[in-house]
Chains A and B, each alone.
Chain A
């Protein structure tokens, strides 16, 4: 356990070094969030009765999404891992007396969290002081806040467990760029990264909720805004746990199979 926590610490501290990049990222995400909110305002003005949630909830959702973007962005991958698979560096990793799956998992967590830590506070602070319906608000209640924290963690783990599958695909292809692009667009869309899931037509929502992607950012954000409450929130969190267990299991199995066959060319 100690070794993993030091992997985590090294990666985390390395991630904290990129301050200029963080400021650039913060301004980008702020502009992005603002524009998205303005877009939804136009829809709101066209037909307020079709809005599935109060406008302030939507603003909160979108600001949370921007602030915690680094946790849930599907297009971000640790290139070191892809490189180590394609250039054979993985041979060194395999010599280490620790489990490869857990190590990659922990490294991913660390990079994403370090980016989030740098970026989320300024975004949330500024967003909190915006005029009323456009600002980020406090969670819908004490329980909502507590459940949000747990579910945020679960959703984060589900996302990483899924992106582990993409890393594993690099064992089978020479250039993983195509798969990464495909997976990214699928995850972003089905997780509610482009439009929040409650804004989809009611008839197709069950289909979206049946996929693991709804257990990523969607569940914690909807719990925070109070859209999901009580039993529904608990049920969604149970679903999160199930997906997490399932994806980790599949990932580990695939990794074992891939490692059995992996051939590292000497040199």
Chain B
């Protein structure tokens, strides 16, 4: 763990060398998600509600997704750029070192410029928490925290899965964007708005709904079932098959040589 923080500090210093570029990136990240926010805002000035969810309720949903995604992207980014490690052959270097591969991949890249996205998510949360009219009792705060943690778990699982697939194909990886970027894009709205089938898909196959939709129902008081708020914990189970698949890919890994 101590070593991990050393790596974090190292990465931070390294990225701070190019300050202008760093802030441009952070600003860009902020703007990307800010336009997403604007588009929701404009749609709501026209339609006012969607499936009886109000604007501030959607914002809570949006900020939960965005916070967990940006934190995952910041710290688990190593898996996101993993295909490059394979392509360049740098994975071989990792494999011969006396530390776990996961650890080394995690510390190989830490994207601090994602702070731009994170700030935006935090700002929305700060606005939406009082505006949504939810009575913030301890159990609701607990639910919100669980949602965020569960979100980080599921997104980490997705990133690991993405990395695992790159053992088998580099070119075909674009379709994984449906699940990583797609979950971020479409998870801004409670997943039930897309209809029953999509909700089932996101519950049983890619368990985004476990931390985004069900506990959200409890959070905004649509359901009184406290069990719903514990569902994000199930999201942790998703990491297991993803990790197993990654191990499987790693065992079948043949270096590109040279």
Contacts and interface: CB of A to CB of B under 8 A. Distances in A.
Contacts of B195: 38, 41
B153 to A, nearest CB: 23
B90 interface: no
Contacts of B145: none
A129 to B, nearest CB: 18
Most interface-central of B18, B45, B175 (chain A CB within 10 A) = B175
A39 B174 contact: no
Interface in B15-63: 18, 20-21, 23-25, 27-29, 31-32, 34-36, 38-39, 42-43, 45-52
A43 B50 contact: yes
A233 to B, nearest CB: 24
B35 A24 contact: no
Given A35-B185, A200-B42, 20 more contacts: A21-B172, A25-B175, A28-B175, A32-B182, A38-B198, A39-B193, A42-B189, A42-B193, A43-B47, A46-B52, A174-B18, A178-B24, A181-B32, A182-B24, A184-B32, A186-B35, A189-B39, A194-B35, A195-B42, A199-B42
Contact of A177 (B25, B178, B193): B25
B177 interface: yes
19 contacts: A20-B169, A20-B172, A21-B174, A24-B171, A24-B175, A28-B174, A31-B182, A32-B178, A35-B182, A42-B193, A43-B47, A43-B50, A46-B49, A177-B28, A178-B28, A182-B27, A185-B35, A188-B35, A201-B42
Interface of B is mostly: helix
B186 interface: yes
A189 B38 contact: yes
Contacts of A50: 46-47
A165 to B, nearest CB: 16
A188 B175 CA distance: 21
B194 A39 contact: yes
Contacts of B46: 47, 50, 199-201
B32 to A, nearest CB: 4
A201 B38 CA distance: 11
B108 to A, nearest CB: 19
Contacts of A28: 174-175, 177-178, 182
Contacts of A178: 20-21, 23-25, 27-28
B206 to A, nearest CB: 12
Contacts of B177: 28
A177 B23 CA distance: 11
A179 B169 contact: no
Given A46-B49, A195-B43, A181 B24 contact: yes
Contact of B194 (A21, A38, A177, A185): A38
- The list of the 9 closest CB pairs from A to B, nearest first, reads A178-B24, A181-B28, A42-B193, A189-B35, A24-B174, A24-B175, A38-B194, A20-B171, A24-B172
Interface string A230-258: 00000000000000000000000000000
A201 B171 contact: no
A99 interface: no
Contacts of A38: 193-195, 198
B173 interface: yes
Contacts of B185: 35
Interface string B220-232: 0000000000000
The size bracket of the interface on A is 35 or more
A27 interface: yes
Nearest to B35: A189
B193 A21 contact: no
Contacts of B18: 174-175
A249 B119 CA distance: 39
A98 to B, nearest CB: 32
B51 A46 contact: yes
Interface string A191-231: 00011000111001000000000000000000000000000
B49 A47 contact: yes
A35 B198 contact: yes
A175 B24 CA distance: 10
A23 B169 CA distance: 13
B37 to A, nearest CB: 11
